[in-house]
Amino acid sequence: MDKTKILLLDDREENLISLKAILSRDDIDIYETTSPNEALRIVWENEIAVALVDVQMPGMDGFEFAETLASNPKTKEILIVFVTAISKETTYAVRGLKSGAIDYLYKPLDPYITNAKVDALIRLSRSQKEIREKNKLLENYATIVTNSPDIIVMVEPETARILSINPSVETILGLAPQSLEDTSMLDLLVDSSNSKLKEVLIDRSYMEGQTIVIEDRFYGRLRQPLWLELRIMYKNRLLFINLHNIEKRKAYEKQLLEAQSVAEKARKMKETFLANMSHEIRTPLNGILGIANLLEATELDLSQRNLLEMLTHSSGSLLNILNDILDISKIEEGKFSIVPKTTDLRLLGKGIIDLMKFKSDEKDIELSLFVDERIPEFVSVDGMRLNQILLNLIGNALKFTDSGLVKLKMEYQGFNDGLHQIRFSVVDTGIGISKEDMQNVFSEYGQASEHTSHHYGGTGLGLTISKKLVQLMKGELQAKSELNFGSEFYFTMDMAAANEKVSEKTALVSYTALPTFSGIRILVAEDNRINALLIKKYLTTWLIETIMVENGQEAIEVLEDDEFDLIIMDTRMPVMNGFESARYIRKTLKIDTPILSLSATVLAEEVEEAYESGMNDTLSKPFQPAKLHEKIDSMLNSLY
């Protein structure tokens, strides 16, 4: 606690010494002087609580000194006690009290009486100071409440009766404060029966002592509903509630929800469009590639085999375009994942060069590979996506190069924090790109210029998807070029070395050379006539007894009377689709025969729905016969 400051004023030094000796203690700071003028300076500069003043002094007596203090707002609260040796007559006492003193001490001073009176005065001074501070706080609070832009109301908890409310209620709700006193706050609500405020009053959650924040609707001007935020605090058996107008915030939240709803609808429309597009293109594409597989197993002359290769190549190009569109969509939706695996970069590079060599040979362009010998034998990277990126870059380079060379380079850049930094680049001697057109190189669904689009064709998706894939792999695809002098597209990636070897890919085998299945019966539900023909051709070649139906309803009717080792079911069919059929088979028929889903879309949502409906595995169209054989073999082995 702060020390109490006491002033001793007496024109005689020996009296001051005597008083100081009596009052000296740890909780008191004593200021002493023989001069009234000096005493006035002391009280002005220090917060003096009690003054012991001699009555008879030359120049200014004690009465005049007390009157001076009482006349000034800064010093009028000082408690004055006169110390005197003169008569105790009533006239002196009255004059002293009128001048501002509250008590007398008579000389010679009794130490016990003096200390007792000073103690009482100290307590009185501290109480008065505390009262003054609280009054000041109350005045400040009253000012804040009165001028607050929010409604501030004091409420009786049991009845919700309004005890006091500030003027802001007129600004916000259009109601005069005086008209609301003694009315129930619930009467101001739009719907008191479903009110959050009413819930708080009933469950008495305010008793826990924490500020409760809720939102409720009140009637505003012209009885228009108005959202207010209520901050409720319980103190001294009363509720103090601050009501803030949140109508603008609610309107913004409504707009935000509407915008989210529109965005969600647009997203679902986009997903539906992509799913439909994927299905409508992949289904006939599966038929084209399937027929190509059937033709490949027949006797063909050289001319026919060349035509078949062109057919297969064109179908593969169409499939790549479709996959690029779907990949961009999945990246934008945040549903695309990078999966690092052990990869041999030399093998990956050689495979790309071998695959693209026919294109370079057609244009008599040199296509080469350089791999820095310092690059580790095996690294951890998403090899499939890296392969996709480099194929796109080399395909572009070959497209825009009419003579000279295209070179794929993998250069070692250094080792840092346990990772090897490798720079990948594709260099060509093609038409190049002007500075003006460079800004459009990576734009979505666009090309560097209209001239290149018309002259060379293409969708412009290759570089877009490549740039997005490189970014997902923590790199940045960049380009430098000079018009008519070729281009270089490059990026750098950090990757860890891997110890285990890469499993070699098995070569594609004709469906006629795959092992057969004896004694196996499979039910196939497929509405597309060509795809149904292909699947039946594959299965019968593998000595599988096959029953074909055109939709899920027909499949259920067959399953009610017959048993199969496996069910192959397209997801999109008329009458009853594959998902609905699978649910019926599992839940109603109680049949646990494995079901392989055939889908012409590759969207994650359809894969999830397939498993959720009770299907055991999925296969996307178009598919290689060998992949269908692998799925059948795996699902049959899981049974035995």
Dump pLDDT digits (tens) for 394-425: 988 998 999 999 999 999 999 998 999 999 99
Determine phi and psi for 343, rounding to 5 degrees: -135, 140
Domains of the chain by range and CATH?
4-144 (3.40.50.2300), 148-245 (3.30.450.20), 260-311+510-640 (3.40.50.2300), 341-495 (3.30.565.10)
Average pLDDT over residues 271-290: 71
Burial bucket for residue 191 (CB in 10 Å: 0-12, 13-18, 19+): exposed
CA-based Rg of the chain, rounded to a whole angstrom? 47
Greater model confidence, 462 or 467: 467
Task: Name the residue among 272, 279, 326 with its Cα closest to residue 526.
Answer: 279
Dump pLDDT digits (tens) for 517-534: 989 999 999 998 888 988
Dump pLDDT digits (tens) for 88-99: 555 666 777 778
pLDDT at 186 exceeding the cut of 50:
yes
pLDDT at 593 exceeding the cut of 60:
yes
Name the DSSP class of 516. P
pLDDT at 602 exceeding the cut of 70:
no
- Asked if 597 and 611 touch (Cβ cutoff 8 Å), the reply is no
pLDDT at 322 exceeding the cut of 90:
no
User: Going by DSSP bridges, is the β-strand pair 238-245/212-219 parallel, antiparallel, or unpaired?
Assistant: unpaired
d(CA 640, CA 633): 11
Q: With b meaning 16 or more CB within 10 Å and e meaning fewer, what string describes 37-53?
A: eebbebbeeeebbbbbb
**pTM of the prediction?**
0.48
d(CA 234, CA 240): 6
pLDDT at res. 455: 44
State the CB neighbour count (10 A cutoff) for residue 12: 12
Dump pLDDT digits (tens) for 350-375: 988 887 888 888 889 999 999 999 99
